[in-house]
Amino acid sequence: MLNRVVTISREFGSGGRTIGKKVAEKLGIPCYDAELIQKIAEESGYTADYIKEEGEYTSGGWLSTVFTDRTMGLTNQDKLWNIQSRVIEELAGKGSCVIVGRCADYILREKADCLKVFIHASIEKRAERIVRKYGEREESPEQRLREKDKRRAAYHRFYTDMKWGHAQNYHVCLDSGELGIDRCAELIAQLY
Amino acid sequence: MLNRVVTISREFGSGGRTIGKKVAEKLGIPCYDAELIQKIAEESGYTADYIKEEGEYTSGGWLSTVFTDRTMGLTNQDKLWNIQSRVIEELAGKGSCVIVGRCADYILREKADCLKVFIHASIEKRAERIVRKYGEREESPEQRLREKDKRRAAYHRFYTDMKWGHAQNYHVCLDSGELGIDRCAELIAQLY
């Protein structure tokens, strides 16, 4: 019998991580996110900051790195992907949990009984949220979001061959900007 | 104050129409679908069958018709689109309701307070459902689904300029094959 895992993919600024934590609290199961990064770091010998940058958030053109280095064998990103996959499989094997981000739905597709969730929100609502949470930057919040969206979609596409944000890839997709963080968490917990 | 309307877009065979009816029953509001087609028919002078064929389900290459006739002015599909838009606006203006299909979410984007829902399911679950509901045909159910999916997506894209099945276009997307028809209806009624 496979463990029941909630995987949450989310647009940057949509509050998916907060929703994941709330769902986990409601269900009394662990939520992996920063902890996961830490664990990957321990296994890989990279620092947590490096992994955070390279895993999804990298600001310096990882795509070009992937495409130029791949002919030479595994890139750092590929190695990271492999470690990350192993860590996620281990966590899901230990027991029920919520996993936020990191293509966990794809990694666990045959290893766990997943409730696959995607959280999104309009660019306006997300812009408001990231300014509130992370403060102003030199770039406009809309620019930051578009950049992150593009990178996340490309990363996801590259490693999973699935289109980011396609409803068909998930059991439930929710607009957290319209429905609110708490209501999303309630719904997911209810579906679990 | 705009009326609250549930719009349900759905993949063929996903049970979206049944879900719409159940939601409407739960909420005690009308559900428009076949009735809507009838009303469009009355206004347009076309027969209900013709509209059903041309509106979404046409089996005979409407795309080519659209592209060749458009240089000559409005095509039949364009006229139908205009009538359909007017009918949907009227229905939504009369009071709260559920509207299944027909790009109602797009048509009402500034005219009603919509809860925008998308219902989908895996091709296997939908194949099973259409054979159960509509019987066997010469084409395999998978072929029929792929054909319908392609046409519906093209129609939707053409008139709304939005990508069919993109989570970001909806407040809630649900996999009826995994969650079940009744659970989907409950969730939507709850969110209303």
Summarize the confidence of residues B29-37 as an average pLDDT.
82
Distance between A43 CA and the closest CA of chain B, angstroms: 35
Q: Is the pLDDT of residue B22 over 60?
A: yes
Q: Is A119 on the interface with B (CB under 8 A)?
A: no
pLDDT greater than 50 at residue A98: yes
Chain A residues near residue B168 by CB distance under 8 angstroms:
11, 120, 165, 175
**Cβ(B121)–Cβ(B12) below 8 Å:** no
Selected for mutation to probe chain B from A12, A171, A187 (highest B CB count within 10 Å) is A171
What pLDDT sits at residue B1? 65
At B61, is the pLDDT very low, low, confident or very high (cuts 50, 70, 90)? very low
Extents of the domains making up chain A: 4-191
A4: which chain B residues are within 8 Å (Cβ-Cβ)?
A: none
DSSP state of A166: B
Give one DSSP letter per residue of B125-160, joined into a string.
Answer: HHHHHHHHHH---SS-HHHHHHHHHHHHHHHHHHHH
Q: What is the mean pLDDT of residues A51-80?
A: 58
Task: With both helix axes pointing from N to C terminus, report the angle between A181-191 and B181-191 in degrees, rounded to the nearest 10.
Answer: 160
Contact A24, A185 (CB under 8 A): no
Does residue B58 have a pLDDT over 60?
no
B17: left (phi over 0), alpha (psi -120 to 50) or beta: alpha
Q: Classify domain A4-191 by CATH number.
A: 3.40.50.300
Cβ A179–B165 below 8 Å, yes or no? no
* Stretch 150-169 of chain B: residues touching chain A, C-beta under 8 Å: 165-168
pLDDT of residue B48: 64
The answer to whether the CB atoms of A166 and B171 lie below 8 A apart is no
Asked if A30 has any chain B CB less than 8 Å from its own CB, the reply is no
A170 to chain B: which residues are within 8 Å by CB? 167, 173, 175
Nearest CB partner across the interface for B167, out of A166, A190, A191: A166
Q: Distance from A18 to chain B by nearest Cα, in Å?
A: 18
Nearest CA in chain A to B114: A178
| Span A119-146, pLDDT tens digits | 999 999 999 999 998 888 888 999 999 9
CA-based end-to-end distance of chain B: 16
